[in-house]
Amino acid sequence: MATAPNPTRDDFEKLLNETLGGADSFEGQVVKGTVTGIENDLAVIDVGLKSEGRVSLREFAAPGQKAELKVGDEVEVYVDRVENANGEAMLSRDRARREAAWDRLETEYDKEARVEGTIFGRVKGGFTVDLGGAVAFLPGSQVDIRPVRDVTPLMDIPQPFQILKMDRRRGNIVVSRRAVLEETRAEQRSDLIQSLAEGQVIEGVVKNITDYGAFVDLGGIDGLLHVTDMSYKRINHPSEMVGIGDKVTVQIVRINRETQRISLGMKQLETDPWEGASAKYPVDARFTGRVTNITEYGAFVELESGIEGLVHVSEMSWTKKNVHPGKIVSTSEQVEVVVLEVDEEKRRISLGLKQAQSNPWDSFAERFPVGAEVQGEVKNATEFGLFVGLEGDVDGMVHMSDISWGVSGEEALNLHHKGEMVKAVVLDVDPEKERISLGMKQLERGGPATGGDTGDLRKGKIATVTVLDVKDGGLDVQVGDDGPTGFAKRSDLGRDRDEQRPDRFQVGQKFDAMVVGFDRSKKPNFSIKALQVAEEKKAVEQYGSTDSGASLGDILGEALKQKGSGEAKDAE
């Protein structure tokens, strides 16, 4: 290229640019330069441009460290501008490292590989991490598997991270330390779980306690020690057996290698108290135990450590029915029980509390035989009778037909009320069914002889009775002077309605009647009406026939005539 004999300033600049090959093309590039000097905290770097550039020494130092740079060192820098207002090149070591780092990180991100970085600062919501020139954001939730209160021990220490997100245009990188820890932990867990086997005894440290059990660290993998596998005895909460930080010896009960879940047990290392339980606790044997738990359906009684039996609410008391077990026994109370059933396979023992006490129904039957007189308070009135409280905390029932003579059962029920003291006679005692039948009317005048004795009376027999009492519902009568007493209902006093009036009889009056049955207390029921019907039937059979043409009046007249003749002959 030909030059002017006397070159001007413009000619010189043109020749310089041609020599440098176009300095503007350096802008935005990472180039190599040489340190030509160090001035205070600045490094003077020559990158082959018109002028040198100055870069702060701290840009050549790693976070938390001092820069080690000397004259003659070759370094890479980023050319921001070829020339600034002072005529110097604007260079940046940080930009050079960042650009190189981004290239490297993008490659690692595509391969989902781990990268090394250093936590060097705190920002809102997390921390800043130097990834060898590029600054990334570490969210607080991604620092560790568990929340970390103090991150100071983790700062300024090179450690691996996982890149979660990258955006070069915005200069945004998000990393996670937790992902690396979880992956490492998963690898350790997988290796550890392969080395474990069911039935193996191993030591661990309790790291957490819940309502249903405790989590034990087995050295990189956690196992669940369920509350039911801690001891053979009843445990209300796992904290009764272990505490956080305790070293425990456990047995591996189950391993699920797919879900990497391990079930642990402590009681499996002890002798099973249920072995031979049937021999130790035979049926009908008595034992003393401690009440450990009370529910709506019964109470659990501990016979020995690890063996509990259930006393069902129906087996707690002979007399207290439909009562909450807590009103009969209390927790920690020592009680005597009887073994009712043992199921060693299901680990169940049925116990009875009332069986260890005397049966009040048997005791009552011994003290008050049938016919004995008792006294008690009316506890309840039902549509069919009265319940009376008796000695021994038992109840007897007076059926409405046994409340009073001569009145209907409903009317008799209205004669008494709850809380009233009454007297009655024992009619029957059934200890097996826990029933006591009582009678109140048997104590009234006209009641049956003691024990319900009816002599030789039987259904269909005719007897001469004497009126003892006249009632609206009928007559109290007695056979002879000291014979059995009975009752003639109003409807049995005659065939005609006019004859069915009790007031046509007087006390002391005698009449013939037929026995038509007995009530629950074996008291005979007499009927004039039944006797009349029987006599008419007999007269028809004796004096009439189907073809005689005689009327019923003729037949009865002949019968009465014959009867009169017979009585006259007897008189002669």
Three-class SS state of 313:
helix
- Second-level CATH architecture of 112-182: Beta Barrel (2.40)
The helix or strand, by DSSP H or E, that contains position 122, with its residue range, turns out to be strand 114-123
- Second-level CATH architecture of 27-111: Beta Barrel (2.40)
List the Cα angle 134/135/139 in 5-degree steps.
140
How many whole angstroms separate alpha carbon 113 and alpha carbon 105? Answer: 9
Give me 334's structure tokens. 């020592």
In the sheet that holds 90-92, the strands lie side by side as 53-56, 42-46, 30-39, 74-81, 90-92
| pLDDT tens sequence across 167-223 | 888 888 999 999 888 888 777 777 778 888 888 898 989 989 999 999 998 877 888
- For residues 50 and 82, is the Cβ–Cβ distance under 8 A? yes
How many whole angstroms separate alpha carbon 328 and alpha carbon 351? Answer: 15
Give me 16's structure tokens. 């310089």
Confidence of residue 108 (pLDDT cuts 50, 70, 90): confident
CATH class for the region spanning 196-269: mainly beta
What is the third-level CATH fold of 360-443?
OB fold (Dihydrolipoamide Acetyltransferase, E2P) (2.40.50)
| Choice between 451 and 437, residue whose per-residue pLDDT is larger | 437
Give me 222's structure tokens. 């956690």
Closest C-alpha among 185, 191, 205, 194 to residue 250: 205
- For residues 163 and 129, is the Cβ–Cβ distance under 8 A? no
Residue 27 confidence (pLDDT):
66
DSSP 88: -
Confidence of residue 300 (pLDDT cuts 50, 70, 90): very high
Written as one letter, the residue type at 481 is D
Q: What is the mean pLDDT of residues 290-303?
A: 92
- By the 10 Å C-beta count (0-12 exposed, 13-18 middle, 19+ buried), 296 is classed as exposed
- For residues 303 and 287, is the Cβ–Cβ distance under 8 A? yes
- For residues 309 and 233, is the Cβ–Cβ distance under 8 A? no
- For residues 276 and 240, is the Cβ–Cβ distance under 8 A? no
Q: What is the mean pLDDT of residues 411-431?
A: 87
Residue 505 confidence (pLDDT):
92
Residue 567 confidence (pLDDT):
47
Residue 21 confidence (pLDDT):
46
223: left (phi over 0), alpha (psi -120 to 50) or beta: beta
112-182 and 282-356 have identical folds: yes
- Which residues sit opposite 90 in a β-bridge? 81
Superfamily (CATH) of domain 457-572: Nucleic acid-binding proteins (2.40.50.140)
Q: What is the CATH number assigned to the segment(s) 282-356?
A: 2.40.50.140
Residue 351 confidence (pLDDT):
94
How many whole angstroms separate alpha carbon 389 and alpha carbon 381? Answer: 12
| Choice between 569 and 336, residue whose per-residue pLDDT is larger | 336
Residue 449 confidence (pLDDT):
41
Q: Where are the domains of the chain?
A: 27-111, 112-182, 196-269, 282-356, 360-443, 457-572
Supply φ then ψ for residue 59, to 5 degrees. -75, -15
Share of the chain above pLDDT 90, in %: 21
| pLDDT tens sequence across 12-29 | 555 555 544 444 556 656
Written as one letter, the residue type at 488 is A
Closest C-alpha among 96, 76, 93, 86 to residue 34: 76
How many whole angstroms separate alpha carbon 147 and alpha carbon 140? Answer: 8
- For residues 485 and 468, is the Cβ–Cβ distance under 8 A? yes
User: What is the DSSP track for 238-270?
Assistant: GGGT--TT-EEEEEEEEEETTTTEEEEESGGGS
- By the 10 Å C-beta count (0-12 exposed, 13-18 middle, 19+ buried), 50 is classed as middle
